[in-house]
Amino acid sequence: MDFLSLEYGSFLVSITIIYWLIPNLQARLLILLTASLMFYSFMQVQYVWLLIVMLVINFWLGGEIRKGDQFIKQWLLFVGIFFDVLLLFGFKYIPFVATAIGNITGLPVGSSLAIWAKVNIVPPVTLSFFVFELIAYLVDIYRGNTPARDFLSFATYKLFFAKLLSGPITRYQEFAPQLLTRSRPVLPDIAEGVWLFTCGAVKKGIVADNMARFVDLCFRNSDRAGSIDLWLALIGYGIQIYCDFSGYIDMARGSALLLGFNLPQNFDFPYLSGSISDFWRRWHMTLGSWMRNYVYIPLGGSRGGLWRTCLNLMIIMLIVGIWHGANWGFIIWGIWHGAALVGHRLWMEFCTVFEDLHKIWKPLPMKVFAVLITQLVVFLGWIPFRLPNLTDTSMFLKRLWGYESDPQFGLKIYVESLGITVGQIALLMFGLFVMMLAAYQCDRAKWQLNWQVKLFLVPISLFLVSILSPDKKLPFIYFDF
């Protein structure tokens, strides 16, 4: 059930009305849980049982961790994390690992297993997000937090349809107090929820999906594209993935708000970051928070000296890359960002020795330059992320400088397929940047439209989405992760 479909709109409105008409708290939770199971069943009914089994086991482990002594707690935590990671590995990484083993050893059994797994194992949608939330739940209980008071509350939190598929990653301790709310939403809250959902729909339907047409054509024909075409496609992909994922998050947060739940923010204008570390504080913020709390700090964080800090940063970003998918492109993307974070950390250490270097970045032109350098690193990293085949990545990189496009490329791509010129595409991208900059300034100035204006703009915006989005609806990119 796609967020941009009429089916989801009808589903959300129906559940919202039923939910607020029922005064009993337990009945409300049961309605939400039933709705969430129905929602997931529309996508992969064959895996509903798996999610329930994982919930039962982790709920039981959480309760036992709370009651046990230190040794029992450590043992049960290990068992829970091992179980969750094993399921993630089994469904998501067997083909990749088997192929790698076959290539390294030359044994045909590796290739045979990889082929069998690719044909017979379909990873459940949401498994990566699902596992990370379960691990966080167990670790938080081990650290002294209170486990779920009953299975209904835990299952409702974990399966809540608004965040089920692609986050944002939400800790139980952040979500649990909201399960106890009984107050009905006031009109400004409803307006904000509808407005958030509409903003996400505009990002996804108008910007991301239309940009995807140009990006897909250029990436598929990169051997015939010129350097200018590929740079535009690379920038377009950065816009696409940001609007696709942040659009999903906006729609998820808007849906949740209609039901009285506040989900955490996941993006904070990451393409205006002035350093790679700042970028990762503002991109996929809940994943970054998860990595910091449950991997980076347990590894020692920055407490073990400079080189241990650098090693921890590399490990973190390698895990982030692997978490996104089982191919070399994601691994290289993770290593690239890890190297960038290490480079930034070393530079900051260098600046502490030579304090005058900090003053270099204070003038506005140097701040702009820092943003441009940061985004160059980020956008170059999108190449292996988008092209998991390393041969394609290598060719794309080589053609970024000094290549003219095939004479037929412009005719087929711009004229026949898109009906738009290179200059017009570049102008559209610049316009999107200006809009993002304006939105950033409004956000930092705490300036917002009042709820009446938002409600007025909602039907207009949704109408524009209906007529300007492509006929072929594209799945959300992060559904694959």
Query: Catalytic residue positions?
Result: 324
Any alpha helices (H) in 259-305, and if so which ranges? 276-282, 285-291
Tokens 């043992």: give the residue.
Answer: 75
Measure the CA–CA gap between 197 and 195, rounded to whole angstroms.
5
| Nearest residue to 421 (alpha-carbon basis) of 228, 272, 264, 251 | 228
DSSP string across 372-438: HHHHHHHHHHHHHHH--SHHHHHHHHHTTSS-PPPHHHHIIIIIIII---HHHHHHHHHHHHHHHHH
**Residue 273 DSSP label:** -
Torsion of CA 43, 46, 47, 52, to 10 degrees: 110
**Residue 236 DSSP label:** H
Distances (CA, A) of 30 to 36, 161, 289: 10, 13, 30
Measure the CA–CA gap between 228 and 386, rounded to whole angstroms.
18
Query: Degrees (nearest 5) of the Cα angle 444, 262, 245?
Result: 70
Span between the terminal Cα atoms of the chain, in Å: 17
In the three-class reduction of DSSP (H, G, I as helix; E, B as strand; rest coil), residue 355 is classed as coil
Any alpha helices (H) in 148-226, and if so which ranges? 151-159, 161-164, 172-175, 187-201, 209-220
CB of 260 within 8 A of CB of 185?
yes
